[in-house]
Chain A
Amino acid sequence: MATTTEYTPKTKTGKIANFVDERTGGSAMVKEFGRKIFPDHWSFMFGEVALYTFVLLLISGTFLTFFFDPSMAHVIYNGSYNPLKGIGMSTAYASTLDISFDVRGGLFMRQVHHWSAILFVAAVSVHMLRVFFTGAFRKPRELNWVVGGVLLILAMAAGFTGYSLPDDLLSGNGLRIIDGVVKSIPVIGSYISFFLFGGEFPGTVVIPRLYSLHIMIVPAIMLLMIALHLFMVVVHKHTQYPGPGRTNDNVVGFPVGPVYAAKAGGFFFIVFGIVAFISGLFTINAVWNYGPYDPSPVSAGTQPDWYIGFVDGALRLMPGMLGNFSFEWLIPLPWGWNTLSLNVLLPALVPAGIIFTLMFVWPWIERWVTKDSREHHLLDRPRNAPFRTAVGVAGVISYSVMWAAASSDLIATHFLVSLNDVTYWLRVLFVIGPILGFIVTRRLALSLQRKDREIVLHGREAGIIEMSPEGGFSEKHEDLDVYKRYNLAVFEDRKVIPAQPDAAGHISAKEKRRGALSKFFFEDRVAPVTPSELAAAKAAHGHAEVEGSEQDSIGH
Chain B
Amino acid sequence: MGDHSHGSPDDSGTVAKAGAGDLDKFQDPGLPPHRKRLADTDPRAEKRAERQVALLFIISIIGTLSFFIAYFVLGRPDNITEIRIQNSMLGLGTTFAMLGIGVGIVHWAKTLMPDHEISEMRHPIRPEADRVDAENIINQVIEETGIKRRPLIRNTLIGAIALAPIPAVFMFRDLDRSGKNANEMIEQLRHTMWDTNVRLTRDPSGTPIKAADVQIGSAFHVIPEGLDEAENMLNEKAKAVVLLMRLDPQKMKISEGRENWHVDGIVAYSKICTHVGCPVALYEQQTHHLLCPCHQSTFDLTEECKVIFGPAGRALPQLPIMVDANGFLVARSDFQEPVGPSYWERGKN
Contact = CB atoms under 8 A, between A and B. Distances in A.
A207 B239 CA distance: 20
Contacts of A548: 2, 13
Which A-B residue pairs are the 7 nearest by beta carbons? A280-B91, A180-B276, A269-B102, A266-B105, A328-B313, A245-B31, A273-B99
B16 A493 contact: yes
Nearest to B313: A328
B348 A330 contact: yes
Contacts of A496: 9
Contacts of B87: 107-108, 111, 280, 283
B105 A251 contact: no
Interface stretch (B114-122, B140-148, B246-254, B256-264): B114-122
B32 interface: yes
Interface in B5-48: 5, 9, 11-17, 20-21, 24-26, 28-32
Interface of B: 1-5, 9, 11-17, 20-21, 24-26, 28-32, 71, 76, 78-80, 83-84, 86-92, 94-106, 108-110, 113-115, 117-122, 125, 172, 175-178, 180, 182, 185-186, 188-189, 203-204, 221, 223, 232, 234-235, 237-239, 241, 271-273, 275-279, 281-282, 293-297, 307, 309-314, 340-348
Given A201-B235, A526-B4, A295 B26 contact: no
Interface centre among B273, B276, B297 (most CB of A within 10 A): B276
A423 B94 contact: no
A319 B84 CA distance: 43
Contacts of B98: 269-270, 272-273, 276
Interface centre among A181, A189, A276 (most CB of B within 10 A): A276
22 contacts: A179-B341, A183-B342, A198-B176, A202-B238, A245-B30, A259-B113, A262-B106, A269-B99, A273-B97, A298-B294, A300-B282, A302-B293, A315-B311, A319-B310, A330-B348, A409-B296, A453-B14, A486-B28, A527-B15, A549-B13, A555-B24, A556-B16
Given A181-B276, A269-B99, A531-B25, A495 B9 contact: yes
A514 interface: no
Contacts of B235: 199-203
A281 B91 CA distance: 7
Contacts of A312: 295
A194 B186 CA distance: 9
B298 to A, nearest CB: 8
A258 B177 contact: no
Given A254-B117, A320-B297, A344 B28 contact: no
Given A189-B343, A486-B29, A530-B20, A250 B276 contact: no
A283 B87 CA distance: 9
A119 to B, nearest CB: 14
Interface centre among A81, A102, A200 (most CB of B within 10 A): A200
A450 B83 contact: no
Given A263-B109, A549-B2, A316 B281 contact: no
A416 interface: no
A299 B294 CA distance: 9
Interface in A180-221: 180-181, 183-191, 193-196, 198-205
Given A338-B344, A527-B14, 5 more contacts: A185-B344, A259-B109, A269-B103, A281-B91, A296-B241
Nearest to A339: B346
A186 B344 contact: yes
Given A244-B32, A254-B117, A194 B176 contact: yes
A408 B203 contact: no
Contacts of B121: 249-251
Interface of A: 35-37, 40, 80-82, 100-102, 104-105, 107-108, 111, 140, 173, 176-177, 179-181, 183-191, 193-196, 198-205, 235-237, 244-247, 249-255, 258-259, 262-263, 265-274, 276-277, 279-281, 283, 288, 293-302, 312, 315-321, 326-328, 330, 336-344, 347, 377, 408-409, 419-420, 423, 446, 450, 453-454, 482-483, 485-486, 489-490, 493, 495-496, 522-532, 545-552, 555-556
Contacts, number: 410
A184 B342 contact: yes
B311 A552 contact: no
A204 B231 CA distance: 12
Contacts of B311: 315-320, 343-344, 347
B266 to A, nearest CB: 19
Chain B contact residues, majority secondary structure: loop
A490 to B, nearest CB: 6
Given A269-B105, A347-B311, A37 B341 contact: no
Contacts of A246: 31
Contacts of A339: 342-347
A84 B76 CA distance: 19
B293 A80 contact: no
A343 B313 contact: yes
Contact of B177 (A198, A301, A453): A198
B99 A547 contact: no
A341 B341 contact: yes
A54 B202 CA distance: 46
Nearest to B241: A296
B277 to A, nearest CB: 4
B84 A283 contact: yes
Contacts of A301: 293
A420 B309 contact: yes
A237 B122 contact: yes
Nearest to A450: B1
Contacts of A273: 94-100, 102-103
Contacts of B234: 202-203, 293-295
A209 to B, nearest CB: 8
Contacts of B297: 320
A273 B100 CA distance: 8
A65 to B, nearest CB: 20
Nearest to B309: A420
A266 B20 contact: no
Contacts of A277: 91-92, 95, 99
A526 B294 contact: no
A347 B76 CA distance: 48
Nearest to B96: A273
B294 A190 contact: no
B293 A300 contact: yes
